[in-house]
Structures are given as C-alpha cells and as structure tokens.
Structure 1
Amino acid sequence: MPEHDHNHEELSGNRFFWVTILNVVITIAEFIGGALSGSLSLISDAFHNLGDSVSIVFSYAANQISKRKQNARNTFGYKRAEIIAAFVNSIALVLICVFLIVEAVKRISHPEPINGTLMLIVAIIGLVANLLSAFLLNAGSKSNLNMRATYLHIMSDALSSIAIIIGGVLIDLYNWTLADPVVTMLVALYIIYESIPLVRQTFRILMQGAPDIDYEAIKRDLLEIDGVFSVHHVHAWSIDETNIIFSAHVNLHDMKISEAQPIYSEIAKLLKEKYHICHVTIQAETTRGEHEDIIYDRGNDIP
C-alpha cells in the first residue's frame, strides 16, 4: 500500500474517533438542555445525534475492517465494508429526516411553550461542535463514500443546530414558535436531497453495477494492440468508489503463451493508465466467440 494511502487511512480513523467523541458530548448536552428548556426540538435533535453517534461508530468500524489484507476468505479484500456502512448510514439519514419532518408537522399542529434563551445557548454549543466535526471529515468526504455518508450526518446535525438557533431567536424576539418546525422541515428536505445520490451510488456498487466507462472505446483501443483481433464477453464492476475490476475474452492469433504474455501486459497497462482499472483478467482465445458482442448476454446474469 502506498505511504500516502496508509497515512490517509490512519488519519480517517483518528478523525472518526474524535468526531464520535464530539457527537456523544452534543447528544448529552441536548438531552439535558431539552429537558430543562422544555424544547421538543432539542430533544428530537438529541435523538438524531444519538442515531448519528451509532452510525459514526459503525463507519469507524467499517473503516478499520476495510484495512484488512486480502485472504482466501475475501480474495478482493474488505473494502466493501465501507460501502456497506455508507449505504446503511445514508438510508438511516433519510429515515431520520423523514422522522424529523413528521415531528415538525406535529409541532406545527400542537405548539408548546419553550425557553428560547436556553434553547439558543445549547444549539450554539451544538453548532460549534458539529462544525468542528465537519471540518475533521471534510477532506476525506471528497474521496471516500463512507466518510461522505458520515459527513452528511454531521452536516445535517449542523443544519439542525442552525434551525434551532433561528427558532430560538424568533421565539425570544417574537414568540413565534412555528419558526423551529418550519426551518427543521426545510433542512430535512435538503438533507434527503443530498443523501439520495449517495444511496444510489452505494446501492449500484453493492449490486455489482458496471462503472461509468466507455466499453466501445476500450474495444477500439484493444483492437489497436498488435495481435488482438476481437474482444468480447466483457465484465466490469467496482469494489469501492475507486477500484475497478475488469475481465474480458480477447481473440489472438495462434501463438505460444510466452508470445501472448507481452500482449497481456500491454492490455493491462492500457486499461490501468487510460481507464484507471486496477485489476485485469484476460482470457485468450483464437476463434472461439470472436463474433460475440462485447457485453455477453444469453438471458441470464452470469452465464
């Protein structure tokens, strides 16, 4: 493993740990603040944070599992652990937002007196802690779906804190108790909007969906390699968001294995450098299947 990647993984693990600590502190503060101020909004957000704490621990565990080496039990390694965690966390985030919308509707129907000042103080503390957590995870969220899911959880918490702050100010100044549930609903809808693409991307990877690469361009490039005259029965799938696996049948002129080996190397080099494919499996044939389509289909998933 390259040193940069190793340092990145260690850094990710350390950041997950500190984000977990911060989130637990926020949860406790909001439960206490909600009980003392009578703010259902704070208590609801405390449950939200409690769920996030569990999801962050889950993400951290997946991050550690993903570092395990390949073995006879998992020949492609354990990187899918983070994809599973990202999928579960993003689904959980959508469900939490739906719950918050339901609770907001209830608060609109049955408003209750709230201590806006205490609510405001606790929300500000929560916002500061959430922004610090978001800062810790921001870099990794750009290249790691697991950290992206956790980052979205934290950002949803930060936005919830902002909503509570706005609600607290409006309650203190104008006694407008409807402000909190209205802003909460808007924030929840935004988080759902941000989470859906993550759900779709992780689900596609888990379903062995093909990565977004140009197969016809790959075929054209392979046919330009001296000795290759047909390409068919191609499969491609992703282990995680960065590692692509590729297999194909290629038709070669009749030759010795030692003569075919340089062609294999040239194919692997082309696919790695131009299409960023990390693992290539080639099955060499002479005339078998030479007229078949590049994507093999006989009406079943895996012939």
Structure 2
Amino acid sequence: TLVTMVAEIFGGWITGSMALLADGIHMGGHALALGLATAAYYFSRRHAKDRRLSLGSGKIADLAAYTSALFLGVSVVWLVFESINRLLNPQALMAKEALLVAVIGLVINLLSAWLLAGSEEACQGHSHNTSHSHDHGHQHNHGASQDNNLKAALVHVIADAVTSVAAILGLIAAWLWGWLWLDPVIALVASLVVLRWAVGLLRQTGAILLDAEAPEKLRADVLKHLNAVEGTQVMDLHLWSVGQGAWTLTASLVNHLPTSPDTYKQQLKQFTGLHHPVIEIYLCDNCAVSS
C-alpha cells in the first residue's frame, strides 16, 4: 500500500493528473488509518486491565478512528481547492502513463477492501472481548458489531477505490477525446464524496469521545426497566458510551419503598452492553409516587 501510494503521488505529480494525485493522497490516508487501527487494537488490549482507565480501554479505538477521519478530512479539503484551481487553469496531462498507475492502484484498493471486509465479518461473528474486571465481578465485552476503528480503515479503502475508478474514467476520457477538464472534475466530485464520509465518521466518533447521551431508544428502554420497580421515580439519568457496544450510566431515583440498588441492577441485566451502572436511591416516605 505504501509503495502504491508513493507511485500514485509521484505519478500524478509527473503526469499532471489531479485525480491520480488525489488517489495517492487518499491511499496515504488509508495507510495511516490501517496503522492507527493496528496501534489502537494493540494499546486497547495492552491496557485492558489498566486501573487508571476507570471505565476500560474501549475509547482508544474511537480516538484512533477520529484521528484517522480528521487526517482524511484535512487532505480532502486541500484536494477540493487544488481541483478547482486545476479546473480554472488546465495543464498538460500524460494520460496513458497515468492510466497504468491508476489501474494498479485500483487493484490494490480492491484487494485491501476485500481483506478488511472479511475482517469486519469475522469481528461481527466473534466478540473481541476487550475485557477488564476492576474487581467488579464481571467482564466487559466491548462488542465489535459497530467497530468505528475498523470502520474508519474500511472507509479509507472504499474512498481509495472510488477515487481510483474516478481517476481511470477521467484519464480514459482525456486520452481518447482530449477532455482535460474531466480529470479535475472527477477528482473534485470524488473528494466531496469522501469528505462527506469523513465528516460522518468524525461526528459519530466525536460524540462517543465527548460522552454524548445514548440513542433515545436505548435511553427509553432503560427508563422503562427502572420504572418497572414498584414505587420508583427516575429523577436523573445519564447514559453514555464507553467503547464499542459498551455503555454505562448513573441514575438518581426516588422511592417511597425501601429498595436496594441491586434490585435495579437486576432489572438492567438484560442490557448486555451495560457496565458499571451507578444507582443512588433517595427514600421519600411522604412522596406520592406512582409506579
């Protein structure tokens, strides 16, 4: 991948193909994403039982995915401006030479996408078990069904493949019909599509890193199970993600009946991704609370 990246960037610069240059830069982002993904998995497993990480190492993968998407977004913004400049100021294009490099890049991208897609299916079929106990008597299974780290790497590969196809189409048109304007146009369109993907990944992983509230449906289900305990009124609830498929919560409850926190934790056991729930209960003898 690194060799192909260098070849595409160098080839795009020499031949004057903006689309090929874009493909090379995207592939550089792909290499970065794979490197960050590998490092994230390594550190996540290495620090799985690190007591300094009070809620586990699950967010390491999201941090890597966020960083990867950020680098991709910055590079694509540059490509957008460069494509516009090339469109307004056309330059000579060595289409045949650039086409050969673009085809090689597409083959590498398709192979990488196939390998990553297989890894994602394997992760969905087998839990990664980034477990840590912290002496709480249970293990944490950071499920990989929505692994943002692996998703980031796969997005990079798909982005590279899209750019490779776009570059090939533009180069064929420039070679056969002399449409030099199509090369920067295709690079611009491909860059905007990839930018949209990068922004989506930034928003998703950024929300996790900033401890954003859980989806409304999950929150409603948790409230329903807490309120199922007789005499309960939920005064305050915070529910957020601590890793891939893992959540935690703090809840302040009022009850006119003597009830232990374990009663509520038992109610929440069906939520397999919920860990470290903190329940505080206020006994209110004179409260008229409807169950």
Q: Work out whether the TM-score is over 0.5.
A: yes
Structure 1 residue 268 corresponds to structure 2 residue 246: no
Kindly indicate whether the alpha-carbon contact (under 8 Å) linking 2:17 and 2:93 is maintained by their aligned counterparts in 1. Answer: yes
Which of 163, 167, 191 matches 1:164? 167
Structure 1 residue 134 corresponds to structure 2 residue 131: no
Post-superposition CA distance 1:85-122 (Å, at most 9, x none): 11122222222221111111121122222221121111
Structure 1 residue 154 corresponds to structure 2 residue 149: no
The answer for the alignment partner of 2:276 in structure 1 is 279
1:33–1:90 distance in 2 versus 1, CA, 3 Å: same
Deviation of residue 72 (structure 1)? 2.0
Aligned counterparts of 2:61 and 2:204: Cα–Cα separation in 1: 13
Which of 243, 247, 261 matches 1:244? 247
The answer for the alignment partner of 1:99 in structure 2 is 78
Post-superposition CA distance 1:144-168 (Å, at most 9, x none): 1112122121111111111110111
Deviation of residue 210 (structure 1)? 0.5
Aligned counterparts of 2:22 and 2:262: Cα–Cα separation in 1: 63
Structure with the higher fraction of residues in helix conformation: 1
Of 124-133 and 208-217, deviating more is 208-217
Post-superposition CA distance 1:57-84 (Å, at most 9, x none): 1222112212231322112121111111
Post-superposition CA distance 1:126-180 (Å, at most 9, x none): 0011111112222529621112122121111111111110111111101111111
Q: How much is the aligned-residue C-alpha RMSD, in angstroms?
A: 2.8
1:251–1:106 distance in 2 versus 1, CA, 3 Å: same
Structure 1 residue 34 corresponds to structure 2 residue 16: no
Q: Which amino acid aligns with 1:42?
A: L
The answer for the alignment partner of 2:227 in structure 1 is 223
Which consecutive residues of structure 2, in runs of 5 or more, have no partner in the other structure? Answer: 122-144
The alignment of Structure 1 onto Structure 2 pairs a total of residues equal to 263
Post-superposition CA distance 1:168-222 (Å, at most 9, x none): 1111101111111111111111112222222111111111110113445533432
Aligned counterparts of 1:79 and 1:246: Cα–Cα separation in 2: 15
Q: TM-score, normalised by structure 1?
A: 0.77
Aligned counterparts of 1:289 and 1:277: Cα–Cα separation in 2: 33
Aligned counterparts of 1:281 and 1:85: Cα–Cα separation in 2: 28
Of 235-244 and 214-223, deviating more is 214-223
Deviation of residue 44 (structure 1)? 4.4
2:146 aligned counterpart, secondary structure: coil
- Among the aligned pairs, what percent are the same residue? 27
Higher RCO, 1 or 2 (CA under 8 Å, sep at least 6)?
2
Aligned counterparts of 1:219 and 1:155: Cα–Cα separation in 2: 39
The answer for the alignment partner of 2:189 in structure 1 is 186
Aligned counterparts of 1:289 and 1:46: Cα–Cα separation in 2: 70
Which consecutive residues of structure 1, in runs of 5 or more, have no partner in the other structure? Answer: 1-22, 293-303
Which of 48, 52, 59 matches 2:30? 52
